[in-house]
Structure 1
Amino acid sequence: MKNLILTALMVSGLTGAIASTAAGQQDSTAKEKSKWRDRKEYSVTLGIRDTESSDSTRRTKASKGRFVGGLTFTRIDLGYSRLIDNGSFTLSPENEFLDYRGGKTSTFSFDVVQMGYRFNQNFKIYVAGGFDWTHIRLNKDITIQPDQGELTYVEEDIQFSKNRFSSSYVHIPLNFELRTSENSKGNRFYFIAGPEVSFLLNGKVKQKSDERGKQKFKDDYNFQALRYGATARFGYAGIGFFTKFYFNDMFATDAQKGLKNMSFGITLGLN
């Protein structure tokens, strides 16, 4: 997972550098720059700049609206996850076995496809699709058991140097995007919000200890098969902040009723 995160950040940084170099070469005439961007309504993009529009020549076309979309690698969310137990950040006695290290309980997600409609230069609605991971770094030396009707665990007599409990989802957000006009540097402020549904891919327990070495176990672990919530992002140019909150319970079990998940952090690739 660390390699995936590092790769994502390297791709974003490299693409940002390429985009900046390309923009510098195209500054010879504002007209040529605008024409190049006019062809990017449907595209494959890797980067953190919105290449689909420009303020210089498209203002007259913007009022007509247009469809936009294509393959992408953007809205890379990297941050922390927190469990909310019936409105409290303190876990109830029934859920104390899920006690976790806040600094190492994380989330990572990104979008790979999007399709929508831009009404004008400042407003767009689109549906996206991508992947989402939540990693809970457990404090206790326990092993969450697979193939159980309830969330079950056993206490171990060894000490784990790593005991990570994870879920992975395919997510489909519906985003409403507001953005300002470009400033003199060609950058904008963004505000993006909307609902999101996610479909479970799998759950995983990953452990590391001197006695057993590295171990991995996969199961659904009673994570919700269908998760729904909302996301909000705010940023400038290609970087910003995000927060996500899921409305339904994290697990499809009676004992964990009211246990929900939220996350927050930085976003790379706002467009």
Structure 2
Amino acid sequence: MKRLVFTALICFFTAGVFAQVSDTVKTTTDTTVVKVKKKKFKLGFGNDAAQISINSEENENDTTYYHASKAPGFSFGLTFSRFDLGLATLIDNGSFTLSPNNDFLSYRQWKTSNVGFDVIQFGYRFNSAFKIYISGGFDWTHIRLRDNITILRNQPVLTYQEDDIDYSKNRFSSSYLRIPLSFDFRSHDDARGNRFHFIAGPDIGILLNGRVKQISDENGKQKFNDDYHYTKLRYGVFTRIGYGAAGLFAKYYFNDVFENSPAQKGLKNFSFGITIGW
């Protein structure tokens, strides 16, 4: 996972370089700038003479800029955007405290994380202030377990065993293909070329894999893959708000984290953190 995040960051900063170039081009393609220079003339006599302005090419001090927005249109392509890095929280039937049935999932909050990004998108721009697009990407949730347990594979319900091993890392993870539908409300560019974004919409996730990763002196590094009864198709909502290239995100999923495991009924996932790139 560390290598994946490192690679993602390299891709983001590389994309940032190209974004600088594309921003320069955008100035000339997205916006038509028309210069109208005005020259003032007096009508009447004395200090109270009225003033009017007419178009002129001579006065450099009175220049008015009129910005014409680019026409609506479709867009499609590869991207590296909406890089999310934050904390994940389990909500047990409306409570942040785990019930006795789920106490074995007790986790370290500051080491339980959510990471994700989009790699492709298709959208339609209605005007400079509103755009809608559907995108595809990847999303990981890493639960850092407190207890020395092992979540068992190929069990009829979510099952664990207690171990006589002191794990320095005991991580229980899920990975999803994420497909969010985004409604992007944007301000006009300010003097620095930045804008505010408010984005919200539904999010669908398709399970790719579940994994247990453990590190101990006795067994070294171990990885076990299985679906671990993670919900195969999850659905929820998200929101993003920010300025320039960065902002904040929050995600909440309506269905349970696990399926076909009655003891975990009502256990849901909520994530929040920072997001980079729009």
Task: Tell me how far apart the structure 2 counterparts of residues 140 and 56 of structure 1 sit (CA, whole Å).
Answer: 62
Q: What are the Cα deviations for residues 212-239 of structure 1, in whole angstroms up to 9, with x where unaligned?
A: 1111000000000000001100001110
Note the C-alpha offset of 1:33.
5.3
Match of 1:72 among 75, 79, 82: 79
Match of 1:12 in 2: 12
User: Structure 1, residues 49-103: CA drift from partner, whole Å, max 9, x if none?
Assistant: xxxx4474896454x4111121101100011100000001100000000000001
Please report the TM-score for the alignment, with normalisation by the length of structure 2. 0.84
Deviations 1:119-167 (A, max 9, x none): 0000001100000000000000000000011000000011000000000
Deviation at 1:8, TM superposition (A): 1.8
C-alpha deviation, 1:15, in angstroms: 3.4
Say whether the 8 Å CA contact 2:92–2:266 is kept in structure 1: yes
Aligned to 1:47: none
Which structure features the higher share of strand residues? Answer: 2
**Aligned CA distance change for structure 1 residues 93 and 71 (closer, same or farther; 3 Å):** same
**Structure 1 unmatched runs, 5+:** 27-31, 39-52
Counterpart of 1:158 (choices 146, 165, 183) is 165
- Aligned twin of 2:271: 263
Q: Give the length in aligned residue pairs.
A: 246
The 1:56–1:225 alpha-carbon spacing in structure 2 relative to 1, beyond 3 Å, is farther
RCO higher in structure (CA 8 A, sep ≥6): 1
CA distance in 2, matches of 1:134, 1:94: 21
The one of 94, 115, 124 equivalent to 1:117 is 124
Map Cα deviations across residues 172-205 of structure 1 (whole Å, 9 max, x no partner).
1010000000001110000010001110001000
Note closer, same or farther for the CA distance 1:65–1:59 as it changes in structure 2 (3 Å cut): farther
CA RMSD, Structure 1 to Structure 2 (Å): 1.9
Q: Offset of 1:3 from its aligned partner?
A: 1.9
Determine if the alignment matches structure 1 residue 135 to structure 2 residue 142.
yes
Letter in 2 for 1:16: G
- TM normalised by structure 1 equals 0.86
Runs of 4+ in 1 over 3 A off after TM superposition: 17-20, 32-35, 53-62
CA contact (8 A) 2:81 2:117 kept: yes
